[in-house]
Structures are given as structure tokens and as C-alpha cells.
Amino acid sequence: MSKTLTPTEQNRTDQGSMTKRKTRSSTKADQKTVENENDPIAATQEQDSPMKAPITQTQAEEQHQQHKQDPPTIHHFTLPFKDDKEITCERRVPTTSDGSNNRTNHAPHTLIFTHGAGGGITAPSTSDFATGFSSFAPIVCYQGTMNLTNRIKYFHIVIENEKKHTQTTTTSEVVLGGRSMGARAAVLTALERREKMSEKEKNGALVLVSYPLMAGTKGEKREEERREKILKDLDEGMDVLFIVGDADAQCPMEMLEEMRGVMRARSWVCVVEGADHGMGMKPNKAAEDMRRKTGEVAARWLEERHDEARDSTMSWDGESGEIVYSGWQRTCSGEQPKGKKQKL
């Protein structure tokens, strides 16, 4: 088994001390994987890197091109829960051309994200999103159970662990997110933490992918108290990003627009044309690319969002085999974003 040293570790080696780390190659060509029982972020980051200003669209495109050559690194670790149980986590961080993770320090946000009820953090609907997001900023995904209460407890533990690292190794703010059931868990966790939050945290953000406004695989059951009211209860200082497929039976577009109209929190929505609840669509290549692009859109939204432009659409151009994205547009409720779309 080979050993991989970060630039910091290599420097220590030159001085006569070596830090050992187990590594293995990922099964995917576009990922690097590092195995570690404990969260290794503190050992892989520079301490004094300056904070960068929010990126522009041009800079974002340059980062996207760089990502193709410098794929994110994945760190696997566990956190203790109770009764000898552990929470399985993975951290994906941008990788620079020298193989280090220095770009992590420049990201103003770190997203803590959890999966839906029918899959795990390795399911394409979650892992593809995480890969896209981590091309711009760090993301920590954790494996939860089917029990919503336990999923929220896991969130609190992962948040506290992440805060310890952000206080000592980065200047990132912690943002919560999830897909489907995980999105509900993110909202409920944010509501539970309100009393403990600083004013800065109360003016935070949520990233909600395939939020299930309706229960049942076909969206046949309405649970207003459990799914709608919690969105209405979010504070007005919270910014919420919805990423949803327009073929998602559990999140009807008209219902989502009505919900956005009564929420106190500000909301943005990125509609993926032709995508279902699992962000699946035809052809399969389109689905994988689209899920990754939604992750990139979420990361860019956290970097820079505008109050006057809150709606966007994403579609697949079968003729060119490319994703077409509208960018953020000013729209009225129920309308599709207008304006020139760009191929990504």
C-alpha cells in the first residue's frame, strides 16, 4: 500500500519527522481517496492562507476547467455516536495542481450534507452532487439511518466536529444541506439550533435538493405539519436554495412556488428539466453530468447570490450532448427564467 504525503508532511519529512497516512486509489479516475479513522483536514491545510473574495463568473469557469485536471480528494473518517456506534463520513475537498488541499482555506463555506431515505452517501444522487460541489468548496457527507430523529442527532455531532476544525484550520462557515429526507433533516436541525446560533449563523443558508413536499413515492400524500410548516418556520435571515427536477412527483413545481411565496426565509430555485426525485433522467450520461452540475451551481450560489435574481433552469441538449444553464434570472412566480442560456 502506497503512502501519500501532503506538502506540509513532506516538509516535516525533510526535517526528520514523517507523518504516516494510509492511502488507496479510488475506483473512479476523477477522484483521489484518503482513508483515515479520524478527520484529517487539520493535517492537510495551511494555517495562514488569506481569505479570498467571492469568485466572479469568469473565475468560476476557470476553476471548472482546473477541476478537470485537479479532481477533489476524498477523506473517509468516522465520528463516535453512542453505544459503540459510529457515524460514517467523507470529506471532499478541492485539490490544487500541486496535489495539496490549500484551496479549502479560501472557501467561505463548508457544506454538511446528508442523503435521502432510499440511498447512502455512495448513491449517485448524493455522490455526483458532492463531486460537483467539491470542485469549488469543501463538503462533508455523512451516512444516516432511516430514522429522522437519529439523522438530526447525527447532524448536530457532525456540525460540532466541523466547527472545531473551522475554528483552527479555516475561515469557512458551516452550511447545512441534504437531499429528500436529508433535506428535511437539515431544515429541522437548523430550527433546533436557532437558540444556540450567533446572529451571523442565523443569517445563514440551506441547500435543499429534491425537497419532498409530498409523501409517498408518487407524491400522493400531503403532510403539511411535517413538511411544509417547517419551511415556513425558518427565520427571515435564512437563505434557502431549492434544487428540484420538474418531473419530481414529491415536489410539484406549483406547490413549491406557493411555498416560496409564504416562507419568511428568502429562497432561490434551480429547476432541472426532465429530472425525477432521484435526479434521474435519460440518457444516463445526462443524469450523471446534471447531478454534478447541480453541485457546482450550489457551491457558486453560496459564494455569490443576488436578491433580484432567484430562479434558474438547467436542461440537457441531446444534439450537442451538453448541459444548458440559464444562469440566475429575475422571474415572476410560476414563470420560467428568461434570457440567453449558456452551455456548460
Q: Which pLDDT score is estimated for 47? A: 35
Domain count, the chain: 1
| 3 found inside a domain | no
Residue 92 — very low, low, confident or very high, per pLDDT cuts 50/70/90? Answer: very high
Q: Give the gyration radius of the chain's Cα atoms.
A: 20
pLDDT (mean) for 118-127: 93
| 46 found inside a domain | no
**Could you give the count of Cα atoms lying within 13 Å of 117 in the half-sphere of its Cβ?**
14
> Which segment of 29-33, 128-132, 230-234, 265-269 scores lowest on mean pLDDT?
29-33
H or E element: which one contains 20? Answer: none
Domain with 222 in it: what CATH number? 3.40.50.1820
Q: Which pLDDT score is estimated for 60? A: 52
Q: Which pLDDT score is estimated for 49? A: 33
pLDDT (mean) for 118-132: 94
| 161 found inside a domain | yes
What confidence tens digit (pLDDT) does each residue in 299-324 have? Answer: 999 998 988 999 999 999 999 999 99
Average pLDDT score, the chain = 79
pLDDT (mean) for 136-140: 94
Question: Are the CB atoms for 180 and 144 separated by under 8 Å?
Answer: no
Q: Which pLDDT score is estimated for 200? A: 65
| 185 found inside a domain | yes
| 5 found inside a domain | no
| 36 found inside a domain | no
CB-based burial label for 159 (10 Å; 0-12, 13-18, 19+)? middle
Domain that holds residue 87: 73-97+106-330
- Per-residue pLDDT at 103 exceeds 80: no
Question: What is the grid cell recorded at 107?
Answer: 472557501
| 62 found inside a domain | no
Q: Which pLDDT score is estimated for 170? A: 54
| 61 found inside a domain | no
pLDDT (mean) for 152-176: 83
Q: Which pLDDT score is estimated for 9? A: 42
Q: Which pLDDT score is estimated for 10? A: 37
pLDDT (mean) for 138-159: 96
- Nearest residue to 297 via CA among 307, 286, 305: 305
> Which segment of 61-65, 67-71, 169-173 scores lowest on mean pLDDT?
61-65
Q: Which pLDDT score is estimated for 276? A: 96
Percent of the chain with pLDDT over 90: 58
End-to-end, the C-alpha distance of the chain in Å comes to 38
CA 242 to chain centre: 12
Give the pTM.
0.78
Listing DSSP states for 268-322 in one string gives EEEEETT--TTS--SSHHHHHHHHHHHHHHHHHHHH--BTTB-EEEEEEETTTTE
Q: Which pLDDT score is estimated for 8? A: 41
